[in-house]
Amino acid sequence: MKDKFYAYIQALQNTICDKLEAIDGSATFKEDLWERPEGGGGRTRVIQNGNVFEKGGVNISAVHGELPDSMKAYFKVEQADFFACGLSLVLHPENPMIPTVHANWRYFELYDQNGKVVDQWFGGGQDLTPYYLFEEDARHFHTVCKAACDQHHPKFYTEYKEKCDFYFWNAHRNEARGVGGLFFDYCKPTEEFSLEQWYNFVTEVGDSFLLSYVPIVERRKELPYSEKQRDWQEIRRGRYVEFNLVHDKGTLFGLKTNGRIESILMSLPPKVQWRYDHNPELGSEESKLLDVLKSPRNWIEN
């Protein structure tokens, strides 16, 4: 399964990068092949200073070795080797009318001392972080997510949408990072749902990503914006940074496993502001966004 899924994310990385370059029309992805001393490596691709994307990355990796002490405690094992592979992407557009998007699809194996697989699971998801609220964009994103889920189980969308709202909650700010999407983890084989079925589900979600995001970019990329709106985007990006460095499991896992720091911090936006006690005017477009972030909503009828 690990070889099959890694082949899938290699192909998906190519598909996504090709499409994003075509949309941007100016910048191209810079590729960086790297190796992890403890085992494995990856292929990082970064796009910067484009017509549409100010900064973005679409990264794949496959790493293996002895589980670090910090993760042994987390998984409650004394000795174990692991294998983990996945695709992770973050796109920060220049225009504040276009939302930032994040997605990740991953596969994990744990082995005993004889190299036998003792645990295995899939995880992943995707979420949208707007700076200005266009409700039709949120509905579109969630509609595509639901369609992918519904191909595999009628309850998946509702369950994973709720988990996304819970996971991407910036607790110290008492607000969501964005308008949500999907989040699933520890998707393990059972009598009801085999590992192959989980693979089919995760790849269905991965294959639907461009459909969920590209139409939004196309709708918004030519919209005009002011310096004030750009300031607001940079202030909101600060909250994105806070979440990634304080709460995000993937970032923390990478740091604890001696991950490649450039790839781990690739998700951070290039220009960010922190202003003391900044609050938008009541009734403004900026405050409308905060109203939604304070109380996550259902964007489509289930």
Spell out the long-range contacts of 134-138 with Cβ–Cβ below 8 A and sequence spacing 24 or more: 134/97, 134/216, 134/219, 134/220, 135/299, 137/99, 137/216, 137/219, 137/220, 138/179, 138/299
Res 263 pLDDT > 60: yes
Residue with tokens 């970064």: 46
Is 300 inside a domain boundary?
no
pLDDT in tens, 220-245: 999 999 999 999 999 999 999 999 99
Residue 115: CB atoms within 10 A of its CB come to 7
Is 299 inside a domain boundary?
no
Both tokens of 77, joined, read: 């094992």
pLDDT in tens, 94-123: 999 999 999 999 999 999 888 899 999 999
- Compute the Cα dihedral for 251, 197, 206, 168 and give only its sign: negative
Both tokens of 301, joined, read: 């009828």
* E strands, 29-179, in order: 30-35, 40-48, 53-66, 81-93, 100-111, 117-129, 169-170, 175-176
Is 220 inside a domain boundary?
yes
More confident residue, 266 or 180: 180
- Residue 270 has a pLDDT of 95
Both tokens of 280, joined, read: 């938008």
Q: How far is CA 160 from CA 121, 123, 249, 282, 284, in A?
A: 16, 11, 17, 32, 31
pLDDT in tens, 133-149: 999 999 999 999 999 99
The catalytic residue positions are: 102
Radius of gyration (Cα) for the chain, nearest Å?
A: 19
Phi then psi dihedrals of residue 15, to 5 deg = -60, -45
Res 200 pLDDT > 80: yes
Range of 206's domain?
Answer: 2-294
Res 212 pLDDT > 60: yes
Share of the chain above pLDDT 90, in %: 85
Residue with tokens 């900064």: 55
How many domains, the chain?
1
Largest CA distance in the chain: 63
- 3-state DSSP assignment of residue 56: strand
Over residues 78-104, mean pLDDT:
95
- Residue 69 has a pLDDT of 76
Is 88 inside a domain boundary?
yes
- Residue 256 has a pLDDT of 78
Is 301 inside a domain boundary?
no
Is 39 inside a domain boundary?
yes
- Residue 73 has a pLDDT of 73
Most confident of 68-72, 114-118, 273-277: 273-277
Is 98 inside a domain boundary?
yes
Q: Which CATH number covers residue 281?
A: 3.40.1500.10
pLDDT in tens, 18-28: 999 999 999 99
Residue with tokens 């399964």: 1
Q: Which positions ≥6 away from 184 have C-beta within 8 Å?
A: 122, 123, 124, 125, 156, 159, 160, 163
Res 258 pLDDT > 90: no
Over residues 63-81, mean pLDDT:
79
CA–CA gap between residue 282 and residue 130 (Å, rounded): 18
More confident residue, 85 or 258: 85
pTM value? 0.95
Mean pLDDT of the chain: 94
Res 302 pLDDT > 70: no
Is 302 inside a domain boundary?
no
Q: Are 133 and 289 in contact (CB under 8 A)?
A: yes
More confident residue, 260 or 149: 149
CA–CA gap between residue 168 and residue 183 (Å, rounded): 9
Both tokens of 271, joined, read: 């220009």
